Amino acid sequence: MNEPIKVSDESFQKEVVESSLPVLVDFWAPWCGPCRMIAPTIDEISREFAGKVKVVKLNTDENPTTAMNYNIMGIPTLGIFVNGELVDQIVGAYPKSHIVDKLNYFLGGLAKN
């Protein structure tokens, strides 16, 4: 599980809400420049946090229902889910260190990179 998992409206419940691991959801679209800009960072985080955090990508153009359900108003938005609940959002293209700090906060500081 080194690369982000592509999820859809249909698989979101199983892959994110029912996950035993915390989940970082990348809400993105192919036409979004900042989304493409942070994609390599999301891939790195997926590899570095393997076994600690599940990383998934949801194309909001193809899966608008889930984005609407979580009030995603702009992309990129990174949603952090713990025990099936959306606990934090990062809206915009932030540096890797900011995203890692947020993840470590919700992991209780156990995952050091």
Q: By C-alpha distance, which of 61, 111, 64, 37 is closest to 80?
A: 111
Whether 37 is catalytic: no
Please check the confidence at residue 113 and state whether its pLDDT lies above 90. no
Catalytic residue among 16, 25, 32, 38: 32
Whether 113 is catalytic: no
Question: pLDDT per residue over 26-77, tens digit each?
Answer: 999 999 999 999 999 999 999 999 999 999 999 999 999 999 999 999 999 9
Task: Report the DSSP beta bridge partners of residue 44.
Answer: none
- In percent, the amount of the chain with pLDDT more than 90 equals 92
Helix residue ranges, H only, the chain: 12, 33-48, 64-69, 96-106
Q: CA-to-CA distance for 52 and 20, rounded, in angstroms?
A: 10
Per-residue pLDDT, 109:
52
What the chain holds in terms of domains, given with CATH numbers, is 5-106 (3.40.30.10)
Model's pTM, two decimal places? 0.93
Beta carbons of 45 and 95 less than 8 angstroms apart: no
Catalytic residue among 35, 45, 75, 99: 35
- 52-71 core/surface letters (b: 16 or more CB in 10 A; e: else): ebbbbbbbbeebeebbeebe
Per-residue pLDDT, 2:
78
Mean pLDDT of the chain: 93
Q: CA-to-CA distance for 23 and 4, rounded, in angstroms?
A: 10
**What value does the mean pLDDT take over residues 83-105?**
95
Please check the confidence at residue 86 and state whether its pLDDT lies above 90. yes
